[in-house]
Amino acid sequence: MSTSKTIKSALISVFHKDGLAPIVQKLNELNVTIYSTGGTEKFIKELGIDVVPVEDVTSYPSILGGRVKTLHPKVFGGILNRQDHEGDVAEMKEYNIPQLDLVIVDLYPFEKTVASGAPEQDIVEKIDIGGISLIRASAKNFKDTFTVSSMEQYDEFLEILSDNNGKTTIAQRKKFAAKSFNVSSHYDTAIFNYFNEDEIVFKASETTSKVLRYGENPHQKGYFFGDLDAMFDKLHGKELSYNNLLDVDAAVNLMNEFTGEDPTFAVLKHNNACGFAQRNTIKQAYLDALAGDPVSAFGGVLIANTEIDAETAEEIHKLFCEVVIAPSYSDEALATLKGKKNRVLLVQKTTNLPNQNVRTALNGLLVQDKDAITDTLEDLTYVTNTKPSEEEIKDLLFASKICKHTKSNTIVFTKNNQLLASGTGQTSRVDALNQAIEKANNFGFDLNGAVMASDAFFPFPDCVEIADKAGIKSVIQPGGSIKDQLSIDYCNTNNISMVMTGTRHFKH
């Protein structure tokens, strides 16, 4: 039997009618018999096109408030019969089952209903039963039946109809079957995740994807699965790369710690802040952030927590940077920043980020809750005789926020709401500390009066001793070492204040 099939009959039952009319009209031109139900049947009739109600085939009306319309052997027999199977052909004739060559279904909008905050009763009613069954049945029988399972497929399907006068190939039917199982599996994943409270199961489905230029390196393929348009309005520049996206993710998560605060600016490189400052104006915040490490800032990602104005844009324009992110830009700032054709300019939208981190490991996945704890004044335990001043406490909490978003092992120095230096991703805390001291010295920062944050406890007093000799007089750390007292004793002997938060912030 030929693998080419001519569509002679179609079952259409959709929730959304947008874009459906041209398909129905084309099917009518091709003399295709159309079966339908409910609102879709009414829609087709209003187009002036003949339609056979499914009730006329099944001899059953739509019942149970519309919950049961197409769930009937005459419908599913018409979809699932094998046209080259002698027994199926005989039973189709015996039971007077109409052949259905095409199924067009658009599922109830379950995810949108959940996102709207609707009550559970409304959400449950948006769990499609007949539609999902029709999709699975017709996709299973792709050798004989064509399945259109989403309104996003309408344009492509209409092109196939128009180009081939209603004929479809086995390759086309199989391709659309794959699309259909993608739709159905995504739908079921969303339903499971809504209901699941107790099962420790990881199910995720992202249907929006983007092919990147390459991965971390040019010889690696790279993809992004997610909806960047929901996160940002891209105003200018080249396509974001794999590495850009990692830096943008780090930048957004860091700056979220400072939402609604005074003008704040960060410069990131390789997922770490190399410059950070909070000031009265966004221009000064940028200048002081840049001063933290103007060398690393080259080719970095910049982010602000408030609008970037013309004066700030003039300063940014002097720097080669890959990406600039802000909640908004003045018209003059945009005109300046667009002066570099490849510079990516993003407007960050207000949106919810995932509450879990996921990464591959070995032959599986590691999944964890996001580190949603931000150290606050109420979390501090004052463990030394010398207590930090009010200004030092502000700097300690400021440093702690930055430290939380810096690769472990890390040490962060801040003073007057400015990042002076950090040691990032080192194999020992002492190495991280020495790296931070060296960077601060290289860029001319005086560490006297600065504070130090550590992402994890000090197992020995060596770190506070090295920091003391560099000029640090106040420290914030989680505590928790069996040798905490050794560090406390050193601080007491040398008039250093130390506070503990009780929360470790490793970031590997």
Catalytically active residues, by annotation: 140, 270
Per the CB < 8 A criterion, the answer to whether 323 and 344 are in contact is yes
For residue 103, give the nearest of 27, 47, 21, 200 by alpha carbon: 27
For residue 302, give the nearest of 313, 310, 215 by alpha carbon: 313
- Angle at the Cα of 325 from the Cα atoms of 322 and 328, rounded to 5 degrees: 140
SS3 (DSSP) at 197: coil
Instruction: Go through 215-253 and write b for each residue having 16 or more CB atoms within 10 A of its CB, e for each that does not.
Output: eeeeeeebebeeeeeebbeeebbeebbbbbbebbebbbb
Q: Which long-range contacts (CB under 8 A, 24 or more apart) does 200-208 make?
A: 202/358, 202/365, 202/367, 204/358, 207/182, 207/183
- Residue 434's CB: how many other CB atoms inside 10 A? 17
Per the CB < 8 A criterion, the answer to whether 479 and 489 are in contact is no
Structure tokens at 132: 């999902």
Per the CB < 8 A criterion, the answer to whether 18 and 151 are in contact is yes
Q: How far apart are CA 105 and CA 148, in angstroms?
A: 6
Per the CB < 8 A criterion, the answer to whether 254 and 407 are in contact is no
Place of tokens 């080249």: 238
Place of tokens 């009306």: 61
What contacts 457, CB < 8 A, 6 or more positions away? 477, 478, 479, 480, 481, 484, 504
Q: How far apart are CA 316 and CA 343, in angstroms?
A: 11
For residue 244, give the nearest of 194, 301, 195 by alpha carbon: 301
Helices (H), 348-449: 390-404, 429-442
Structure tokens at 97: 């089952």
Cis peptide before 409 (omega within 30 of 0): yes
Helices (H), 341-454: 390-404, 429-442
DSSP state of 226: S
- Residue 329's CB: how many other CB atoms inside 10 A? 25
- Where are any strands of DSSP class E within 237-305? 264-269, 272-278, 300-304
